[in-house]
Structure 1
Amino acid sequence: MSKEAMTAKAMKPLPVHPLATILPRMSDGEFAALKDNVRTVGRIVDPIVTLDGKVLDGRHRDLICCELGIERRTVEFKSSWGSPVEYVYSKACHRHMTDSQKACAAVGVMEARVVDGKKRSAENLKKGTRKIADSGPTIGSSAVVAAGMFGVSPRYVDYARKLKKLDGKLFEETLQGRTTLPRAFRVVRRREKMTALKAKKPVLTIAGKYFLMPPGDAVARLSELPRKSARLIFADPPYNIGVDYGRGAAADKLEPKAYLEWCTDWLAEGRDVLTPDGSLWLLINDEWAAQLSMAATGLGLHLRNWIIWVESFGQNCSDKFNRTKRHLFYFVRDPKQVVFNHDAFNRQSARQVLYNDGRANPGGKLWDDVWHVNRLVEPDPERIPEFPTQLRCDPIKAIVAGCSDPDDLVVDPFNGSGTTGEAALSQERNYVGIDLSPKWLGLAGHRLGKVGHAAQSLDELERKSIQ
């Protein structure tokens, strides 16, 4: 055993004063750098300041002394130095803290100021030098002072104070820089939402319920669904390029005017089926992207994102650039009230993955508006034989998770192989599928039966209109 290890085992760190925990701990890199410096010098330059035998300033220096076996130098805090809270603040390197960390640290200062003020007021009352009504600083006044000390807004400090009340563990994670206040609050809101949903709705015995409507056109079948009943519609319609979906290639080669009118009709029905906070996602090709976007917005839908869906193994073209993309439109009924669960679309940033940049947001970032998707081709095990236009399930799962909640109704007017249904049922959503082809409805029913429970009617889905 090394000398350092033996000494570290013999020396124990001093207890830490609660006021010292107002500020975040050093990062691993900062601690290692300080430790190397102390090892080189052979001593700690600044003494460890204690208050009532507990470390007020220098908790990291104390740990290093224990680990390196260096003599610990301490000095007891003196009242002539002022308030212990102000002293801790004066030692803070808060320029290296994020705004979220500053707000959390300000909460600690604010609470300590209130406690300290009440203590002094009580002492003055005993001496008869203060009126009873004058009870010292309030939470509000202390928040303003603490916010000013750390250079953040009082509102942001109040935001952090609410987080501490709601979830002390998440507050500590934020103080230590492992997440941010906005991301922490999203976690809290998501958890509260899930708790409310579980209390309000019965727990499904299996993943979800599905109903495949009798074979029929999307316009007619959508008109049969209850108004304002679906929180999410995902549509990957025929592209009018002559694909044989079972009725011959000519059925997918309408006159442009007729095709646009048909698309406008089913978009209008889809709009009416959506809940006020619902969304409609449309995947379409180059030829019809602009026209259908205008048709949807003309019907009163609002475009939140125009996403480029880039596929590997694109289609080779002989006399123009190869086709490797599609267009994914994200429409909502009302831009002021939407269901958007950030966690479903979250990923690590390049700063985290590639550059190991300390400035990276520890919570990652939202997806970009260009999605790279591996095209589903043989012999991929997910591929259903013979079906001409099957999509991968993973991106649809993300859309379902991000734009709906458990037990919500998800609708696909072009059910096809049932990919949207699998994405919905596997995440505890209910599902309605519409398709012209009896053959594909049969195959999709077999697929969906493995992940959900078939309803005998729409009424079984127990989803009423949301006003």
Structure 2
Amino acid sequence: MSNTRLITGDAVKQMQEIDSSSIDLIIADPPYNLGKNYGNNYDAKKFDEYLSFTNSWLQQAHRLLKYNGTVYVFMGFRFISYLFNILERDLKMYFRNWIVWHYTQGIGKTKGFSPRHDDILMFTKSDEFKFNLDAVRVPQKYYRERNNMRGANPGDVWEFSHVHYCNGNRQNHPTQKPEGLIERMVLASSCKGDRVLDPFSGSGTTLRVCQQLKRDCIGIEINSDYVKMTQKRLSEPFKGFDSVDPRMERVPLDLRRPDIRDEYLENHKKWFLSNHENAMKKFVQSVESVYGDQSSKQLSLFE
């Protein structure tokens, strides 16, 4: 069982109370300073005030991370260059990836191009860091014997749908992140029993994901209403994460040899769709559309 701890309070002040070098992974989705209403506080600091706030919590994040720890930070376009500068030049952290979260629906503009992505920076505290590639591979489009049947690196452009208002897991929060998006970070950069911190817990997605993936997690949230909402969310039965990379639902082409196809289908569920029971139906449809009834015996594994 994982240990989840949810703290009500200011991120910087509460982070100061946590022991140095005690956190394996930090996933942070701070306010972007775009004027959004988060209930009891508005996301509308003056430019220099916001940079000072960013610098303060990042310094704490650096202190808290273990030597081999990793931080992922969501950030809007206006401040991401400043964030990068603090992480790399001021804190001397190691840049790993600039991840693009691509989504298909968003704000519609009549002048200029509508935004369809968010940016996520991945930095590590040192040149030694955890990265569990096998835990986050995606199915290949084509199977070739020289390739790893286990799947391919997902790359740095991630497609996950927003958690739409019709989704049963939708919370009353303006910037709720998809569970599948957070799942990839947790699986890639931590192991079971590791300690994860989300200093801006919001709707509680990171805590919910860690709860299911058997990581200990600390969440900090300034809005007491969101804390109560998260506590309720953590107590609800788990029916599968609310989002999945669409590539996880596809079956590789060229699995014509029955022995290779049978082996692959037996492993697909545990490799790619663990915690995603709600994606099984689409995967079965993909198999049937490519291979017809040749794999009916193997498809029974997904029922």
Unmatched 5+ residue regions in structure 2?
239-303
| Distance in 2 (alpha carbons) for counterparts of 1:283 and 1:443 | 22
1:238 and 1:210 map into 2 onto residues whose CA distance is 23
- Please state if 1:306 is matched with 2:93: no
Q: Supply the distance in 1 between the matched residues of 2:85 and 2:135 (Cα, whole angstroms).
A: 28
Partner secondary structure for residue 50 of structure 2: helix
Distance of 1:281 and 1:444 partners within structure 2:
21
* Bigger RCO (CA 8 Å, 6+ sep): 2
How far residue 246 of structure 1 moved from its aligned partner, in angstroms, is 1.1
Identity of aligned residues (%): 28
1:451: Cα distance to partner? 7.0
Q: Does 1:364 align with 2:155?
A: no
Aligned pairs (5 A) from 1:29-428: 207-213=1-7, 215-248=8-41, 251-297=42-88, 298-335=90-127, 337-352=128-143, 357-384=144-171, 386-428=172-214
3-state DSSP of counterpart to 1:327:
strand
3-state SS in 1 of match to 2:210: helix
Q: How far apart, CA to CA, are the structure 2 residues paired with 1:351 and 1:375?
A: 28
Native 8 Å contact 1:426 1:451 kept in 2: no
* Greater Rg by CA: 1
Structure 2 CA distance for aligned equivalents of residues 426 and 363 of structure 1: 23
Whole-Å Cα distance in 2 between the matches of residues 318 and 219 of structure 1?
A: 39
How far apart are the structure 2 equivalents of 1:265 and 1:344?
33
Deviation at 1:363, TM superposition (A): 3.2
Q: Is the 8 A contact 2:32 2:75 kept in 1?
A: yes
Structure 1 gap ranges (5+) = 1-206, 453-467
Contact 1:344 1:399 in 2 (8 A): no
Q: Is residue 422–residue 451 contact of structure 1 (8 Å, CA) maintained in 2?
A: no
Deviation above 4 Å: which 4+ runs of structure 1?
none
The amino acid of 2:64's aligned partner reads: V
- Equivalent residue number for residue 225 of structure 2: 439
- Which of 302-311 and 339-348 deviates more? 339-348
Deviations 1:247-291 (A, max 9, x none): 25xx31111111011011101101111111110000111112211
Other structure's SS at 2:142 match: helix
* More helix per residue: 1
Q: Provide the TM-score with structure 1 as the length reference.
A: 0.49
In 1, distance between residues paired with 2:184 and 2:237? 17
SS in structure 1 of the partner of residue 62 of structure 2: helix
CA contact (8 A) 1:425 1:451 kept: no
State the distance in 2 between where 1:406 and 1:305 align. Answer: 23
TM-score by structure 2 length? 0.75
The aligned length equals 237
> What's the offset of the Cα at 1:409?
0.8
